[in-house]
Amino acid sequence: MLFIPFGMFLALFFPKVTRVWAIIIILLFSFLIEAMQLISHLGVFDVDDIILKTVGGFLGFLIFNLLNRTKINE
């Protein structure tokens, strides 16, 4: 749930980003966070975290686009 705002900000600041690129960007950012945890030994590298962060970020991206689309159509 913490990555939902990241997906919303991604859609807000970069409106031309497509769904595929949004998934790629969020996935890479999630992997970067997990890799920093592995290197710094300040957390545990977990593949599940990468998946959940990516899903949360993409959910935020979709929610923002859905709300933005309904706002425009009103």
Query: pLDDT, tens digit, for every residue of 15-60?
Result: 889 999 999 999 999 999 999 999 999 989 999 999 999 999 999 9
Would you state the pLDDT for residue 72?
62
Of 74 and 46, the structure prediction assigns the larger pLDDT to 46
In the block, which residue shows the tokens 């990555």?
A: 3
Do 26 and 53 touch, CB atoms closer than 8 A? yes
pLDDT of residue 15: 87
Cα–Cα separations (whole angstroms), residue 73 to 7, 9, 30, 57: 22, 21, 33, 25
